[in-house]
Chains A and B, each alone.
Chain A
């Protein structure tokens, strides 16, 4: 796992994906920080985080798109799958590399916290709650993107499909409100990433939501392992 993790981290930077991701993330979060927090004269960072949901949604597929699709296309998966390591090591190595880059990007909020500390009092509980909420959200989204990357050889297809999949997850709330059957609506709402995330930005640190995000990440990583395994049996 360590070898794959280090290689992926290196590849993020040599391919330039890391720079694009970090730049766009910092730029957009900076804009939201300025207009949502500084300009409204508050030190409460929740508006920043609620706006970042959609940014994360569109940026994460860029991180995950070529993690597995390119291996398949360049036949380098042959090297990985014939090496004396398990499938979980391959998947988790890649998963944690993407997650690390996401955490690096997300940690830009601590710079904002420094600015806020200069201007007034930082609302630390809210900021830290939101920080971890976004971390769990990213953890779940990355696993979805990685899973979709394992299904195709084309990284653009992987990126578009991942954005679409995450967007559908985002729309679950509005879709659910149009469903008249109570039972189905409840199920749909319980799968809603957005309302769970929003809950955090409102200052509620809900443990079931944390469990939800973590188990989503686990399930999709598990499915990715299954995809790699199934390919051998094709």
Chain B
């Protein structure tokens, strides 16, 4: 439905978007995730033909947006970051104007009524847009994008300014629309992306940092299983901590152990990372039984989207991470494709993994700072 090939946008020396490629299929809801200034809006503006790309190609329904902009644009409904509303018009007049502007052929009255009902703005149709609250303005903006029933919907932060109830309504609406539209939406609200999107593209500094479902991205960003253990030693002193940590490190498949804070008196928590292949829980249990220790808590902590996001986007501001950034600069860190239901990861991923491992020491020292004496 939408295909983006090597899209690049430069403003002078500033590289706003750098060589982004992706594909969105019909009926897919794609989430653009990224910190402010990552290039989300720029990408969306290029997708909708508002600005042009410096290089690269965008195909909407097989039509190049630069070659036949009118045809390509007629397939897109766009809600920009700031809804393009004429505040001196009533909602009705404005929607009528957009209806004419898009040369919509659907039955006028019924179509507009349907959209107003869908966006829940039927009760404000005769009011001036100037006098509406931000949430209503946002919904009028969404209604405008839906006019003429375009197969592709591009929504730039669609839930900004809405109250929690409305956010849930709009999310439900987007999910519903996703059944027969292709939807691309951007957000920096993680739960929103997770709740609505089938697939996520994380954009950072103008490049695609990750592409896939939340699970896929999580799986690929870390191959280790992380867990937090709370183990009661025999002496209830700091010596326990060293002993237990050392013993855990000896176990097969455990890659990394860090003793955390003293959570209960004389009892410490341990962050443990194991590789994916081995399930270390039984081995840990066995170890504790042999040594006479007690496991008071075992908590698997798989990465949430939030962890992924922070890891990807914050990674490059951590000390010593510049080196890790380098290989990722020209290529996306991860390039995932689903072929025949199987996950195919390209070699780029290897570099990224290395990059992440290089990141680890920095990560650690960072964490230790506020660890109040935590030790490995």
Chain A positions near chain B (C-beta within 8 angstroms):
2-4, 6-7, 10-11, 14-15, 74-86, 231-234
Contacts and interface: CB of A to CB of B under 8 A. Distances in A.
22 contacts: A3-B97, A3-B101, A10-B89, A10-B93, A11-B86, A15-B88, A74-B84, A74-B86, A74-B87, A75-B80, A78-B45, A79-B84, A80-B101, A82-B49, A82-B50, A85-B101, A86-B70, A232-B49, A233-B51, A233-B52, A234-B11, A234-B51
A16 to B, nearest CB: 10
A7 B70 contact: no
B100 interface: yes
Contact of B97 (A6, A15, A232): A6
Contacts of A7: 86, 89, 97
Contacts of B76: 82
B100 A6 contact: yes
Given A7-B86, A10-B89, A82 B97 contact: no
Nearest to B88: A14
Q: 4 closest A-B pairs (Cβ-Cβ)?
A: A79-B84, A3-B100, A84-B74, A84-B73
B48 A82 contact: yes
B121 to A, nearest CB: 17
Interface in B28-82: 45, 48-52, 70-71, 73-74, 76, 78, 80, 82
Interface of B: 11, 45, 48-52, 70-71, 73-74, 76, 78, 80, 82, 84-89, 93, 97-98, 100-103, 144
A59 B339 CA distance: 65
A220 B96 CA distance: 30
Contact of A82 (B52, B73, B82, B103): B73
Contacts of A15: 88
A76 B86 contact: yes
A92 to B, nearest CB: 14
Interface of A is mostly: helix
Contacts of B45: 78
A173 to B, nearest CB: 40
Contacts of A82: 48-50, 73, 76, 78, 80
B50 A78 contact: yes
A232 B66 CA distance: 11
Residue of A3, A74, A75, A78 ringed by the most chain B CB atoms within 10 A = A78
B89 A78 contact: no
A49 to B, nearest CB: 34
Contacts of B85: 74, 76
Contacts of A78: 45, 50, 78, 80, 82, 84
B84 A84 contact: no
Contacts of A233: 51-52
B190 to A, nearest CB: 26
A184 to B, nearest CB: 38
Given A7-B86, A84-B71, 20 more contacts: A3-B97, A11-B88, A74-B85, A74-B87, A75-B80, A75-B82, A76-B84, A76-B86, A77-B84, A78-B84, A81-B50, A82-B49, A82-B73, A83-B98, A84-B73, A84-B102, A85-B103, A86-B70, A233-B52, A234-B51
A81 B100 CA distance: 14
Nearest to A79: B84
A75 B84 contact: yes
A7 B97 CA distance: 7
Nearest to A90: B101
Contact of B52 (A2, A80, A85, A232): A232
A3 B108 CA distance: 14
Nearest to A93: B101
A98 to B, nearest CB: 17
A76 B84 CA distance: 4
A108 to B, nearest CB: 26
B102 A83 contact: yes
A232 B51 CA distance: 4
A79 B98 contact: yes
B82 A83 contact: no
B101 A4 contact: yes
A234 B100 CA distance: 29
